[in-house]
Structure formats: structure tokens, C-alpha cells
Amino acid sequence: MDSWHATFLGLPHLPREITAFEREAFFQFSAAERRVIEGRRRTELKLGLALQIGFLRMSGWLLDAVRIVPPRLWRHLGEQFAVAAPDLASLRAMYRRAPTLIEHQQQACETLGFRWLTEHQRRALVSVLRGAIVRTDDRQRLLGFARRSLYEHRLLIVHERRLRTLISVARGQHEAELAMQIGRSIEPHLLERWRTALTGAHKSGCSLQSWLWAAPAKHSSRQIDETIERIETFYELRAHEHLVEFPDDLLRRHARRRTSRPPSVGTRIREPVRSIESACFLRYGLLIATDRVLLMVRRRVAELWRTASVGANATLTDPARLYQGLLGELGALVSNPTLSSDVVREQLGTLLQAHRARRPRSRAEIVRERLIAGVRPVLTLLTLLKALTRLPWRSSAPHPVVEAMRTT
């Protein structure tokens, strides 16, 4: 289905304005549809049935509102069936008898093949919605998905209130499946420990959940140390052992839903939502903390290197000056008349060897010397990196950094 058509699904009444493109798309009739419409004797009945068929094709729902129909649409329908169209008329004026309206609605459903939603089809729709909830939890997207599914299966689109009820049922079934999956992989006593610990107090003065989720203000050594402490807390809670194969989208969704509420509300969350959110929060929080500490270390290394490289260009040795110094020493050696040829050759070899070893220092060498000179911040960072080597680092392919961490 085209995205522009999806915006009309479920409309209870005609839009105030219908463009020429929309009139051609929804209110242009096939030969079979024209035979059904032209089978009506009176002009207003032909126009009314044509309007019902076009609106059902547009929105997937029956037109029973009494709003005024746009005059351009009346003229468009009149031109198709060579009848005089009213300039301004509502459905109430067209249908003076309620049975006629109901008959036209039933005729439109039979012509386009639409049916009412049965109990079997309702269960099937809930099953389809349960699969869609895995990909998104946005209510408006789920409503649009349900409407498209009903329209594509030629089922009348029910009221939004009923669709919301079906989405709630599908969400409940989805959460029950997640709870069973989590319950099979995590011991009950560990789940209870997680539920209790997250709402408990931390030594920093806030709850453990707030402390674990807090983002570092900067990438200083103290902030890196605190982030590593958070990672160690996740490991103490054994969050790294469970939900390894759990989809990342579901982890992120349920973890952020947990963090969107105050931690004090955690004790009032119903089961199984509380267990799902607690488990997903701990696993997702561990992944986020690990990503944060890697980014902080990378920024800290870049900051130390940038600080040490300030002014390094001014201390670079100019190769031209080395060359001029070599020429001066050669001139002094050649102009000395007291030296024999053997001594001159010997001193020339010594001089050339010394100048070969006196190559200009690179900028990287100068920066490394400055890092060694200001060794305190570097040692602090190395101490923090030593704590990182205790984590079970893995790579998709052999990586020298992972090997270095294992042998450190």
C-alpha cells in the first residue's frame, strides 16, 4: 500500500477537500462497479451508492456521517454517470430513509469484497500485532499497521478504541512471552535480587538505578574510574551472564522505559513488566557503560596527546641547519694544513657517521618525550586501563589489542 493512501484509512467521514488525484484514485469505477451503480433507478440513489463505494475504497470504513459532501466530488460523480449532481448536499439529504443507507453500505461491501471482522480474524490480527510489537512499540505506528493489515485483507477497519484494545492484548501476550524467556534463562532468586537492588539506595545518595544510568559529565580520570566502578557493579550483579542473545532493540526499549520513570515507582510496576524491565536495564546498562568507558579513554588519550603536542613544532630541528653545520665542520677539517691525508680520511669517516646519527627528531618523538616528562596523568590513565583488562574482551577476528590485554 502506498504511504499516501494509508493516511486515509479509518477516516469516519469525507475530508473537507479532495484533490483531483484522489478523486481519480478512489472515485473512478470499474465496469463491474458501474453496472452495480447504474442498476439503481433514481439519480440520488446512483450518486449515493457511488459515494459509498468510493469512500469504502478510500478509508476501509462505511460512510454514515452527515457532513456536507464537497461539490467537486458530486460533479465528478455526476459526470461519470451522466446525471445532474447537486451543488450542495449532505448524506442526510440523500438518504431520507435509514434502511436505504444501510442497504447501500452492504452493497458497497459486497461490491468491493469487504467483510466484518470475525473472532478468528481478530485472533489472527492480535498474532500479527504481536510480531509487529517486536519491531516497534509506538502506538501510532501500531495503529497504522493494524489498519493496513485489515484493509489488505478486505476487512472493515474497526473503531480506534477497539484497535487500541487489540494492541494492548498483543502487548500483554508479547510481554508474557518475554517473561517466560527471561524466566527460563535467569534464576528466580537472581531476578528477585535485581528487582530489590535497583530500587535500593546507593552510597552516592541516589538509588542504584539512577547511579548506574548516570552519564559522565566529562572524560577525566575520576569520571573514567567511576564508570569502571559501574561496570564492576554490573558484573557483581551477574548482568554479563544473561540475555546475551537477546535482541538489542528489545533491550533498549524496555531499559529506557524503566529509566523514563522515577526509581521509586519501580516497586509499584506490575509483573511481568517489572522483571522484564529490570533484566533488560541491567544488560543494556552494562553495554552502555562499556561503550562510554571506551569513548572516554579514547578522548582522554587524545587530550593528553594534544596537550603534549602544544609547541612541538617550535622544537623541530631544521634539516637545513644540520646541513650548514656539516659544511662548516668539513670546511674546518679541509682548511687545517697540519693534518695528513690519512688523518683527514679518518676524521671524515667519523664526522659522516656522527651526522648520520644526528637525524632530525620527528614530531611524534618530541610528543612522546613530553608525555614521559609529564608522567603523572599518563600513569593514572594506565592504572585505569589495567582495570579494563579484567573485562572479557572479544573481537570478531584476531585483534592485537585483545591479545595485548590478555597478556598484560
Q: Say whether pLDDT at 132 is over 80.
A: yes
From 285, 281, 290, 284, select the one nearest 228 (Cα to Cα): 290
Return d(Cα 328, Cα 315) in angstroms, integer.
22
Give the tens place of pLDDT for each residue, 283-330. 999 999 989 988 888 888 888 778 777 766 655 555 666 667 777 877
- 358-365 contact pairs (CB < 8 A, 24+): 358/322, 360/316, 360/317, 360/318, 360/319, 360/322, 361/316, 361/317, 363/309, 363/312, 363/313, 363/316
Mean pLDDT of 36-51: 85
State the DSSP code for 337. Answer: T
Q: Which three cell numbers stand for residue 58?
A: 478510500
Give the tens place of pLDDT for each residue, 252-275. 999 999 988 887 787 788 888 899
pLDDT level of residue 66 (50, 70, 90 thresholds): low
Q: Say whether pLDDT at 373 is over 70.
A: no
Q: How many CA atoms lie within 13 A of 172 on its CB side?
A: 8
Return d(Cα 194, Cα 150) in angstroms, integer.
41
pLDDT score at 354: 76
pLDDT score at 142: 94
pLDDT score at 141: 93
Q: Say whether pLDDT at 219 is over 90.
A: no
pLDDT level of residue 189 (50, 70, 90 thresholds): very high
pLDDT score at 302: 83
Give the tens place of pLDDT for each residue, 228-246. 889 989 999 999 889 888 8
Percentage of residues of the chain with pLDDT beyond 70: 84
Range with lowest mean pLDDT among 3-17, 28-42, 73-87, 240-254 = 73-87
Q: Say whether pLDDT at 194 is over 60.
A: yes
Mean pLDDT of 208-224: 86
pLDDT level of residue 120 (50, 70, 90 thresholds): very high
The radius of gyration of the chain from alpha carbons, rounded to an integer in Å, stands at 39
* Average pLDDT value over all residues in the chain: 83
Residue 98 or 65, more confident: 98
pLDDT level of residue 280 (50, 70, 90 thresholds): very high
Residue ranges of domains in the chain: 3-112, 119-185, 188-296, 323-360
The total number of residues written for the chain in this structure: 408
Mean pLDDT of 99-111: 89
Q: Say whether pLDDT at 402 is over 60.
A: yes
pLDDT level of residue 110 (50, 70, 90 thresholds): very high
Burial of 75 (0-12, 13-18, 19+ CB in 10 A): middle
Q: Say whether pLDDT at 109 is over 70.
A: yes
Q: Say whether pLDDT at 282 is over 90.
A: yes
Q: Say whether pLDDT at 247 is over 70.
A: yes
- 369-372 contact pairs (CB < 8 A, 24+): 370/308, 370/309, 370/312, 371/304, 371/305, 371/308
Q: Say whether pLDDT at 70 is over 90.
A: no
Give the tens place of pLDDT for each residue, 152-170. 999 999 999 999 999 999 9
Note the pTM of the prediction, 2 decimals.
0.71
